[in-house]
């Protein structure tokens, strides 16, 4: 029997293999973002205090019934010369009729996801820059960033190959219109 020659592993392949084999402590999140492994501790209460009002409003007021996950790993298209990005948004919304989360692998593609939400924490620059690019490259239609340092929300829309073409920023306490499939005004009064 003749041995079949194997393609040599690239640095990106080795990084991905090591990332997928990580055993992080309970509550910690490990993500592979633009070729860098990022490990974050469990969120503080204030972090979760921003997620809850968003989830409640989407469930109650969205024009389309939405499923939501706060721990869904997404495997997205990556930057050139990097392994596929593996990110875990603070919130992932998908139309309920698609049943995306049911039976999904721990790392699922972003196809069908309507919006992801991130709340800045210890490494806010990752949420503002690298994750924004990941979500755009992955074709996620809407990225909602709650920036605790700036006391603002930014809705990024119209994903392109490397970034979002549109962004709208409001300060905490204001109203942020969410487009279809949500089609309601997100009230941020609870953030003040």
Domain ranges of the chain: 11-191
| Helix or strand (DSSP H, E) at 104 | none
Residues in the chain: 192
Which pLDDT score is estimated for 83?
66
- Mean pLDDT, the chain, as a whole number? 91
Structure tokens, 59:
């469930």
| Helix or strand (DSSP H, E) at 92 | strand 91-95
How many Cα atoms occupy the beta-carbon half-sphere of 118 within 13 Å?
A: 27
In percent, how much of the chain has pLDDT > 70? 95
Is the model's pLDDT at 176 over the cut of 90? yes
Supply angle C-alpha 116, 34, 181, rounded to 5: 20
Q: For residue 10, what pLDDT band results from cuts at 50, 70 and 90?
A: confident
Q: Counting Cβ atoms within 10 Å, is residue 181 exposed (0-12), middle (13-18) or buried (19+)?
A: middle
**Residues forming beta bridges with residue 143, ordered by sequence position:** 116, 156
Which pLDDT score is estimated for 81?
62
Average pLDDT over residues 102-122: 93
Fold of 11-191: tt1808, chain A (3.90.1570)
Which pLDDT score is estimated for 14?
80
**Cα separation of 174 and 176, whole Å?**
7
Whole-model pTM: value is 0.89
Sheet containing 66-69: order of strands: 66-69, 91-95, 115-119, 142-147, 152-159, 164-171
Is the model's pLDDT at 107 over the cut of 60? yes
Is the model's pLDDT at 166 over the cut of 80? yes
Q: For residue 2, what pLDDT band results from cuts at 50, 70 and 90?
A: low
Average pLDDT over residues 27-36: 88
If one compares 10 and 173, the residue with the highest pLDDT of the two is: 173
Which pLDDT score is estimated for 3?
56
- Pairing mode of beta strands 142-147, 73-76: unpaired
**Cα separation of 107 and 171, whole Å?**
33
* CB of 144 closer than 8 Å to CB of 54: yes
Using the Cα atoms of residue 96, residue 97, residue 102 and residue 108 in order, give the sign of their dihedral: negative
Which pLDDT score is estimated for 140?
97
Which pLDDT score is estimated for 42?
86
**Residues forming beta bridges with residue 151, ordered by sequence position:** none
């Amino acid at each position: 029997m003749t041995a079949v020659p194997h393609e040599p592993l690239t640095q990106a392949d080795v990084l991905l293999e090591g990332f997928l084999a990580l055993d992080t402590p309970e509550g910690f999140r490990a993500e592979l973002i633009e070729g860098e492994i990022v490990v974050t501790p469990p969120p503080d209460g204030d972090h979760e205090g921003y997620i809850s009002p968003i989830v409640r409003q989407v469930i109650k007021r969205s024009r389309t019934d939405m499923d939501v996950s706060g721990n869904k790993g997404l495997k997205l298209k990556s930057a050139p010369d990097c392994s596929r990005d593996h990110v875990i948004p603070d919130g992932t919304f998908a139309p309920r009729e698609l049943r995306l989360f049911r039976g999904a692998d721990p790392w699922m593609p972003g196809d069908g996801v309507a919006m992801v939400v991130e709340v800045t924490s210890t490494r806010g620059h990752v949420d503002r820059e690298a994750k924004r690019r990941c979500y755009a490259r992955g074709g996620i239609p809407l990225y909602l960033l709650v920036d605790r340092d700036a006391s603002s929300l930014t809705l990024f829309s119209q994903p392109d190959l490397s970034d979002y073409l549109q962004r709208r920023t409001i300060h905490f306490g204001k109203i942020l219109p969410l487009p279809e499939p949500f089609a309601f005004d997100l009230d941020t009064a609870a953030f003040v």
